[in-house]
Amino acid sequence: MKRLLLGNLLAEADLARLIATESRHRRHRPPPGTVLRTAARRAAGLRVFAREGDLLWTPADGPLDALEPTPELLAWCETPDSVRLRAEPRPCAADVPWDAPLRELVWHLPVAPPAVVAAVHHRAFQLRVAAELGCALPGARMVESPGDLDRALREPAAPASWIVKAPLSAAGRDRYIARQGPALTDPKGRRTVEHLFERHGPLLFEPWMERIADYGCAALLTAAALRIAGIHRQHVDGKGQFMGIDLDAGLPDRDRGRFLDVVAGVAAALRREGYAGPFGVDAWTYRRPDGTAAFHPLGEINARMTFGLVAWAASRS
């Protein structure tokens, strides 16, 4: 039977439904066609993990219900659909062949239950881990409602530029950036934020920094081992949306060492929650008000495959 690559790049919506209340579940909206086409185009990169004859499903290929369960399945992200379509549970191998090429190694990694993936993909988990590792942004917190956000913006140390993000989102979607604050006075902006609360519940509030460069670390995790695939440069637009990968990160040694320490700390936190499989950590440099540069080693945790992992696998094919 052919192997299946599940390019479910919009998996965050599936994870959100695992933790959503009944009312928020009813507000779920299908993604626009532009989002589906972009996700499908980028999912094509997963072919680097394929052998001849393997099947690839992308978000533009129609409902997953049309797919037959298969013994061998590799998913961009573990969700209830990936569990349903994997005819045989993947064994939690005690001895993963770490010397195998990345394009084959990923097929041997253990997989985490979707409920665990949803929990460690959540912004509240990211915030807690950042606080434990001493790298949470100043004033970062989960805000429960528009009123809670207003109270945060009235505090003396409230940032002039800030962002709120949905607890389970990716690719720069489901967020609002305010660059002329701190108060939220724009009626259109307030409606956007209110809709985010209505659809997603609590949001992550952080100061918005003047970004200089974005980085990512792609890694693989089991119950006993951590393997770093590589650190790379990420190209993003002004809203923080992904645009491309450059494997020549150019990260200074001091920042690289700090980044690897944080990735190891994230791996330990993921392992405590029962997660195993591929994951990524995003980081970035930013400009302080005095003009100097600083490195922020934990911008986001992605408990799934990442474009960085795809790029590293492609470079070693």
Final residue before a domain boundary, out of 59, 89, 119:
89
Q: Which residue has the higher pLDDT, 188 or 317?
A: 188
pLDDT in tens, 129-152: 999 999 999 999 999 999 999 999
Which CATH number goes with the domain that contains 227? 3.30.470.20
Give me the mean pLDDT over the 32-54 stretch. 89
Omega before residue 182 within 30° of 0, cis: yes
Which CATH number goes with the domain that contains 180? 3.30.1490
Least confident of 89-93, 110-114, 211-215, 247-251: 89-93
Residue 128 lies in a domain: no
Residue 98 CA to residue 131 CA, distance in Å, equals 31
pLDDT at 235: 85
What confidence tier does 48 reach under pLDDT thresholds 50, 70, 90? very high
Number of domains in the chain: 3
Looking at residue 201, its amino acid is G
Angle between helices 253-272 and 123-132 (to 10 degrees): 120
Give me the mean pLDDT over the 28-55 stretch. 86
HSE-CB of 1 using CA atoms within 13 angstroms? 11
CA Rg, the chain, in Å? 19
Residues 184 and 280 occupy one common structural domain: no
pLDDT at 94: 59
Exposed e or buried b for every residue in 251-271, given b needs 16+ CB within 10 A? Answer: beeebbebbbebbebbbebbb
Residues 181 and 235 occupy one common structural domain: no
What confidence tier does 107 reach under pLDDT thresholds 50, 70, 90? very high
**Is there a contact between 192 and 158 (Cβ–Cβ < 8 Å)?**
no
Residue 153 CA to residue 157 CA, distance in Å, equals 8
Task: Pick the closest to residue 167 from 129, 199, 133, 134 (CA basis).
Answer: 199
Residue 62 CA to residue 8 CA, distance in Å, equals 12
Instruction: List the structure tokens of 237.
Output: 């637009």
Task: Give the Cα-Cα-Cα angle 36, 41, 45 (nearest 5 degrees).
Answer: 130
Residue 108 lies in a domain: no
Residues 173 and 79 occupy one common structural domain: no
Segments in 182-294 forming alpha helices (H)? 187-200, 253-272
Residues 164 and 214 occupy one common structural domain: no
Residues 165 and 215 occupy one common structural domain: no
Range of the domain at 215: 210-315
Report the helix count and the strand count for the chain, using DSSP H and E.
Answer: 11, 12
Q: Which residue has the higher pLDDT, 97 or 273?
A: 273
Residue 5 CA to residue 82 CA, distance in Å, equals 10
Tell me what the pLDDT averaged over the chain comes to: 90
Whether the predicted pLDDT of 47 surpasses 90: yes
Instruction: List the structure tokens of 279.
Output: 């994951």
Residues 177 and 272 occupy one common structural domain: no
Whether the predicted pLDDT of 100 surpasses 60: yes
Residues 235 and 308 occupy one common structural domain: yes
Residues 280 and 251 occupy one common structural domain: yes
Residue 166 lies in a domain: yes
Is the pTM here over 0.85, yes or no?
A: yes
pLDDT in tens, 247-284: 987 899 999 999 999 999 999 999 999 999 999 999 99
Q: Which residue has the higher pLDDT, 51 or 317?
A: 51
pLDDT at 22: 41
Percent of the chain scored above 90 by pLDDT?
69
Residue 234 CA to residue 156 CA, distance in Å, equals 34
Residues 178 and 233 occupy one common structural domain: no
pLDDT in tens, 190-228: 999 999 999 889 999 999 988 899 999 999 999 999 999
Looking at residue 244, its amino acid is G
Interacting residues of 204 by C-beta distance below 8 A, sequence separation 6+: 123, 124, 126, 127, 140, 141, 142, 143, 164, 165, 167
pLDDT at 25: 44
Residue 214 CA to residue 230 CA, distance in Å, equals 14
pLDDT at 229: 96
Residue 46 CA to residue 57 CA, distance in Å, equals 10
pLDDT in tens, 171-180: 678 899 998 8
Final residue before a domain boundary, out of 89, 108, 127:
89
Percent of the chain scored above 70 by pLDDT?
93
Tell me which residue has tokens 């809709």: 195
Give me the mean pLDDT over the 86-100 stretch. 76
Residue 267 lies in a domain: yes
**Is there a contact between 308 and 217 (Cβ–Cβ < 8 Å)?**
yes
pLDDT at 268: 98
